[in-house]
Amino acid sequence: MSDIDSDFFEAKPVARRRGRGFGIFLFVLVGLVVVLGILAVVADLVVRTVAEDQAEKQISQQLGDAAGPVDVQIGGFSMLWQLVQGSIDQATISSAGSSGGLSFDFDVRDVPTDLSGSTGAITGTVTADSATVNGLAAVQESGGAISFGDGQVTYARDFTIPLVNTVVPVDVVATPSITSEGRVISLTPTTASLRDTSVSLDLAPFIGGYAFDVCAAQYLPQGTTLTGVAVTSSAATLDVTSPGLPISSSGIGTKGSCS
């Protein structure tokens, strides 16, 4: 057989296809990135859930049974990144109350993860029914229970009829408002009427004497103020704001004053 024939049947090396090898490498790399991304998301969710649970327990311990179950939702992009930065961007803290008489919902910014120092701005609402409001010392000291209506409250007072010097009960309807730079809830009477309908008497000249104030600051952490009040037949809702509060229980326990 000639040299040409032998060369014809001799196996020749096949050139490697570089494109195929690169494609496999790229596929593996993308798959690895996807898996790592999934693991990072799972880890972030786990860390976020653990942090929320721990926050709920600590807040519940500080507030006691009156607050009922506390719910904490941590916002922000990545919980792991927030932990590295040492501050939680945003958190929502809420509670429906143990008996429905008192509930709250707060938005808290810039919470230190080491639980030291103070938070950022806080805004939220506190809602209370009439039984809760009437349990406040300031209301009890005023001498009468408060009932709620749409945009107004009603409370009892005594009126001494001139000349005959007879004391009769009076129902006073008043409109609540926030005064004293957010520290006081003022009740301004709009009407007053005798409970005994058999007695006819114009109480308009005396209505101003039935106004009274409730110092809300004494029930709130120092520096916290009210920005609004709304009343329905079932409850009163207060809008609350603070530039920031200390994390410690002793700091939160320091109340404001109206003096």
Q: Following DSSP, what letter does each residue of 180-248 receive, concatenated?
A: TTTTEEEEEEEEEEES-TTS----GGGGGGG-EEEE-GGGSBTT-EEEEEEE-SS-EEEEEEES--BSS
Percentage of the chain with pLDDT > 90?
Answer: 24
Which residues span the domain enclosing 161? 130-241
Q: State the pLDDT at residue 87.
A: 87
Per the structure, the count of domains in the chain is 2
Verify that 178 and 218 share a domain, yes or no: yes
For residue 181, pLDDT beyond 70 = yes
Verify that 141 and 116 share a domain, yes or no: no
Looking at per-residue pLDDT, the higher value among 163 and 29 belongs to 163
For residue 128, pLDDT beyond 80 = yes
21 confidence band (pLDDT: 50, 70, 90): low
Contact in structure between 35 and 26 (CB atoms under 8 Å): no
> Is position 137 within any domain?
yes
User: Strand ranges (DSSP E) for the chain?
Assistant: 70-74, 87-95, 102-112, 122-128, 146-149, 152-161, 166-179, 184-194, 212-215, 225-231, 236-242
Average pLDDT over residues 145-159: 91
> Is position 98 within any domain?
yes
Q: What is the largest CA-CA distance in the chain?
A: 149
Give the H/E segment covering residue 46. helix 18-63
Q: State the pLDDT at residue 34.
A: 55
Verify that 107 and 135 share a domain, yes or no: no
Verify that 143 and 109 share a domain, yes or no: no
Q: State the pLDDT at residue 255.
A: 86
> Is position 51 within any domain?
yes
